[in-house]
Structure 1
Amino acid sequence: MRASRPKVAVAAVAVAALAVAGCAESDREDSGGSNNDTLVFGVAGDPKVLDPSFASDGESLRVARQVFETLVRPEEGGTKVSPGLAESWTPDEAGTTWTFKLRSGVKFHDGTDFDAEAVCVNFNRWYNATGLMQSPDVTAYWQDVMGGFAQNEDEGLSESLFKSCTAKDATTVDLTFTRVSSKIPAALMLPSFSIHSPTALEQYDASNVGGTATDVQYPEYATAHPTGTGPFKFKSWDIANKSLTIERNDDYWGEKAKLKTLIFRTIPDENARKQALSSGDIQGYDLVGPADVEPLKGEGFNVLTRPAFNILYLGMNQQGNPKLADLKVRQAIAHAINRQALVDSKLPPGAKVATNFFPDTVEGWNGDVTTYDYDVDKAKQLLAEADATDLTLRFHYPTEVTRPYMPNPKDLFELVSADLQAAGITVEPIPLKWSPDYLNATTSGSEHDLHFLGWTGDYGDAYNFIGTFFDRQKDEWGFDNPALFEQFQDADSTADMASRVEKYKGLNKTIMDFLPGVPISHSPPAIVFGKDVTGIKASPLTDERFAKAEFTS
């Protein structure tokens, strides 16, 4: 999410792509702004990298979901695990070895056969990562799900959950893990576990990540040659003109895409995206402003609302300011914020105030946790008890970005900042560009006190929310709580689902008593398409399948 793209490689891709991308856009212009072959979709930000092994930002993963496939995938429009490149999967009696039966007759975009050996090449690539590939900024999702590697180079890394991959025959593969985990098989739906062509990985030296921790240099594969099995294949990335083009994979094993060409065009400003849709320059865009949903529907555009499968939170870094290590100060901050007013005035219809760090549609949500109602007097009292009446906090908020859980960061900052100041807290605003400045500042080091971040769930298990945030010591929060970490390990290793759900409820109570941050809201984000575009189903995981898009006229 936070790593820099390799400057030389990216520049080369941009130059090579200019002519191709320009032709695609000219074709659309010649046809009067639309045709039945090409869809231009407006996105809020550039993808960061084209190899999803290294991606954790939404725009990179959006592209990956069209070009690559995983062993299992979410059901269309939902969160349930369903077949992907594997047709079926079963655990052994111990629950530590999972056998996947693979589809036959599948080929990668370069013509290489997909089989069990290809699966093992990919898992062994991730597991045997060395050097900068072990940086949490480079392989964030591997580390969130699997922990460490075959040979950990940082003593802070945990033992790897993944143990081995065995190709039993061409269409049968065993994945063995060191213990039972709630993450398997659901986490294998993540685009970061996409299966790549072994031929392309070798040809383009895909694991040759260079540079430094603050200036990561990705190999050419990750910027110009992503090679999967999906319904679209990569064509060009015109970075200078903020345009990425993929095209139909005519050799796809399943139902072929109805579109010939799909272009993702970066338009950071929300109003500019809306104007581009109205003028016909684009045929859809994501992250529709809350106030625009009903007007766009009224004009006849195809507005799809995703279920609220996300969380916006206020992070508090206990290393950033020693006062934040005092529970009473964190409680004061929680009581100072009028979350209902924020939801009512700045979020779309259907948004809710959050009391847990994941929505109530996920099993394990607990309605009996400690809550922190808006109470300015209570906030002032707690600050006085903590000897913190002269508290000054650095409050980071992002610019040049719209997120599903955070439609207008500056507006949200102004509301929360005013609430904090009304309680007697001095706020030092620190606006930073979303990537890489804001993400670097808020998820590493100790130079931040308060910040907004959030999460859209990757799959329908509570651990994917709260485990991602709190299951071990992280710079974003700056606390060490061994008892909480052990509680997470116990829940994750509980095989029985009913028992695990009860443990998730217990975790939610522990988290809200400890209060490392303030859960703010859950929002139902909207995605919009042109009046004549149909076929796409909204996904709570932002897993919209553009291969099914088609024009009705």
Structure 2
Amino acid sequence: MHRRPTRVLAVSAATLTALSMAACASSDREETSAGGGESSGGTFVFGAAGDPTMFDPAFATDGESFRVTRQIYEGLLTNEEGSADLAPSLAESYEASEDGLTYTFDLRDDVTFHDGTPFNAEAVCFNFERWYNFEGLAASPAASEYYQNNFGGFASTPDVPSLYAGCEATDEFTAEVQISQVTSRFPAVLALPSFAMQSPEALEQYDADELGGNGDALTYTEYALEHPTGTGPFRFDSWDQGNGEVTIVANEDYWGDAPGVSEIVFRSIADGNTRRQELQAGSIDGYDLVAPADYQTLEDGGFQVLPRDPFNVLYLGMNGGNVEGTNANPALQDIRVRQAIAHAIDRETIVNSLLPEGAEEAIEFVPPAVDGWTEDVTTYDYDPDLSRQLLTEAGALNTTLRFYYPTDVSRPYLPDPAAMFEVISQNLTDAGFTIEPVSLPWNPDYLDAVSAGQADLHLLGWTGDYNDAYNFIGTFFADAGGGQMKAEFGGWSDQAVFDALAAGDGEADIDARGELYAEANAAIMDFLPAVPVSHSPNALVVADDVDGLVPSPLSAEDFSTVTIGN
């Protein structure tokens, strides 16, 4: 392991745009047509890589659920098409108070929810109060992970600080939201699908917050499964779980431009080869997570491959052993064992053989395009001999580790989980570890097990939600309560990391914030609660008669712009 030399921080134009927008606390939306009207017709069938969990975005964490809910719901803010930059949505503009603790949102006055409930400032405050007042299972990390990652505690957890401090409807279409501290996360988080606006009447009618099961295996309400109600360009129609199909239909009363198709069917096809064959046979019109080896074949066949810019990280999670009810290997608490794992991974082979062209080895958990990325971190080059030496020094040679990996899924950062597991597992075996493989279906088994801290090692990743370093490293490694990181990482505790993240998040000056996040990245890579592996581009593909689908670096595509030719 060694330090890379310091270089000048690179700040992307997108980062400057997004953060300047938050700092200036103002936004302007381009003029939109009065909206509504009929779609141009047709059904767009999209091959999803897995099943959604359900359709209440406040409780969702997986990409396939969000893919659907993004079409049904809208937030106060959104992202520019094909970009990570912030843009207005249900809020036409916003303004921050001088102290940065009160945000005033001017709302559109021509919007209704799908059930006819008016969208107004009272509805906005209802949603904020709903999130803040989650209790019981709704307040568990497995249920409301995004809220806890970004806002912190609830009314029912006064010992856990909360970013949310209140909401007031000062008139019908003006909402004032108070926060407890200046943060880089706000208002950018309001573009996340988790914080989309939902119909107050539908939420209450179908007892949306009355979750069942337990923290390891949640069950969801009638609202989340059958009656999701937003303001978006599409309305929920049905979910045929037996056949793996979700159908949404055009919202004829939509306030914006009418959708380009009258119906979208999301068909779950877990296997990438099968998705390709279904597209070639004309059974579907497009799919996501194209296998790198299929790019040329599909293009030669007349299909349109639509690459996304890389904005993600794949990592190997390690368990700190501090989560009650779990049984992590205590050897991982020795920094030499964690360093041995990091030095054992052959990132170069992974990038060259398992990932698309344009992928790169990760030296930290932030992509290079994000302000706060720095070369001045401790790096862990591939060195199996050093790994074995570190294990021997720690008295941990032949340590057995339960290595979890998912099945029946492809992710933007992990196109072939089984192949990735095989390479890393062999790397670790060569370095002197004994690996016990544990494979689980992605949703909900794998996600539930990993988020609850059941694994010694696990493969997972993250596609950025907005253009700020905290969305990566803060989501992973900030104090999640009680002086510990979240359960996924076994509740590791390192005050230097917590302090560095808090300092960066609370800094209003963009340049100073980038320097503080660089310091946080250095502290994280010294402590090593997990191992970053790669940053990888990925792509969608559509048939030659499909137009209007714009790839998003956030995997946040808006399907309302899609049209299908003859």
* TM-score, normalising length: structure 2: 0.89
Find 2:465's aligned residue among 431, 448, 458. Answer: 458
Classify the secondary structure of the residue corresponding to 1:378.
helix
Bigger shift: residues 312-321 or 385-394: 385-394
Paired position in structure 1 for 2:433 = 425
| Structure 2 partner of 1:188 | 190
1:97 aligns with 2:105: no
1:80 and 1:491 mapped to 2: Cα distance? Answer: 20
Alignment partner, residue 353 of structure 2: 345
Give the secondary structure class of the aligned counterpart of 2:78: strand
Distance 2:156 2:530 in 1: 34
Percent identity reads 53
AA aligned to 2:76 is L
Q: Secondary structure at the match of 1:87?
A: strand
Shift of 1:215: 4.1
- 1:324 equivalent to 2:332? Answer yes
Q: Does 1:172 align with 2:174?
A: yes
User: In the alignment, which residue of structure 1 is the partner of 2:538?
Assistant: 525
Letter in 2 for 1:232: F
User: After the TM superposition, which residues 284-363 of structure 1 pair with which residues of structure 2 at under 5 Å, given as runs?
Assistant: 284-319=286-321, 320-363=328-371
Q: 1:450-491: CA deviations, max 9, x gaps?
A: 111111111111101111110022222222112321222222
What are the equivalent positions in structure 2 for 1:470-485 lying under 5 Å apart? 470-472=477-479, 473-478=485-490, 479-485=492-498
Once the two structures are superposed, what CA deviation does each residue of 1:351-382 show, in whole Å capped at 9, x if it has no partner? 10001102101111011111111112222222
CA-CA distance at 1:36 after TM superposition = 5.2
User: Contact between 2:58 and 2:194, CA under 8 Å: does it hold in 1?
Assistant: yes
Q: Which amino acid aligns with 2:317?
A: G
Q: CA deviation at 1:199?
A: 2.0
Taking the aligned partners of 1:210 and 1:372, their CA distance within structure 2 comes to 43
Q: Which runs of 5+ in 2 are unaligned?
A: 1-39, 322-327, 480-484
Q: Among 423, 429, 439, which residue is 2:447 paired with?
A: 439
Q: Is the counterpart of residue 44 in structure 1 residue 46 in structure 2?
A: no
The one-letter code of the counterpart of 1:216 is: L
| Unmatched segments (≥5 aa) in structure 1 | 1-34
Matched length: 515
The CA distance in 2 between the partners of 1:428 and 1:150, in whole Å, is 41
SS of equivalent residue, structure 1 residue 173: strand
What is the RMSD of the two structures over their aligned residues, measured on CA atoms? 1.4
Cα 1:209/1:448, change in 2 over 3 Å:
closer
Name the CA shift for 1:207/1:390 in 2 (closer, same or farther; >3 Å). closer
- What residue number does 1:129 align with? 134
**What TM-score, normalized to structure 1?**
0.91
Counterpart residue number, 1:75:
80
3-state SS of 2:406 partner: strand
Which 10-residue stretch deviates more, 298-307 or 492-501? 492-501
CA 1:384–1:306: 2 relative to 1, 3 Å: same
The whole-number CA distance in structure 2 between the counterparts of 1:354 and 1:83 is 33
Which residue of 276, 281, 292 maps to 2:283? 281
What is residue 204 of structure 2 aligned with on the other side?
A: 202
Q: Which residue of 2 aligns with 1:27?
A: none
- TM alignment of 1:495-534, pairs within 5 A: 495-534=508-547
In structure 1, the residue matched to 2:244 is 242
Residue type matched to 1:551 in 2?
A: I
Tell me the secondary structure at the aligned position of residue 533 of structure 2. strand
1:494 aligns with 2:538: no
Looking at structure 2, the residues matched to 259 and 361 of structure 1 have their Cα atoms a distance apart, in angstroms, of 35
1:370-449 matches, within 5 Å, as 370-445=378-453, 447-449=454-456
Provide the C-alpha distance between the structure 1 equivalents of 2:507 and 2:289, rounded to a whole number of angstroms: 37
User: In 1, are the aligned partners of 2:412 and 2:538 still within 8 Å (CA)?
Assistant: yes
- In the alignment, is residue 264 of structure 1 matched against residue 266 of structure 2? yes
Q: Shift of the alpha carbon at 1:217?
A: 3.2
Q: Which amino acid aligns with 2:533?
A: I
Q: Which residue does 1:32 correspond to in 2? A: none
2: CA distance, partners of 1:275 / 1:113: 44
Q: State the AA in 2 paired with 1:262.
A: I
Secondary structure of 1:476 counterpart: helix
CA–CA separation in structure 1 for the residues paired with 2:104 and 2:161 = 22
In structure 1, C-alpha distance between the alignment counterparts of 2:516 and 2:311, rounded to whole Å: 21
- Alpha-carbon distance in structure 1 between the residues aligned to 2:331 and 2:489: 13
- Determine if the alignment matches structure 1 residue 152 to structure 2 residue 160: no
Deviates more, 1:135-144 or 1:431-440: 431-440
Give 3-state SS (helix, strand or coil) of 2:45's partner: strand
Q: Does 1:535 pair with 2:535?
A: no
Amino acid at match of 1:359: P
Q: Secondary structure at the match of 2:228?
A: coil
**Correspondence for 1:548:** 561
Q: Which moved more, 1:455-464 or 1:414-423?
A: 414-423
Q: Counterpart amino acid of 1:119?
A: V
Match of 1:18? none
- The C-alpha deviation readout for 1:277-309, integer Å capped at 9, x for no partner, is 011110001111111112111111011001111
Deviations 1:198-245 (A, max 9, x none): 222222222232343344332211111111110111111111111110
Aligned to 2:224: 222
Aligned to 1:343, the other structure's residue is in SS state helix
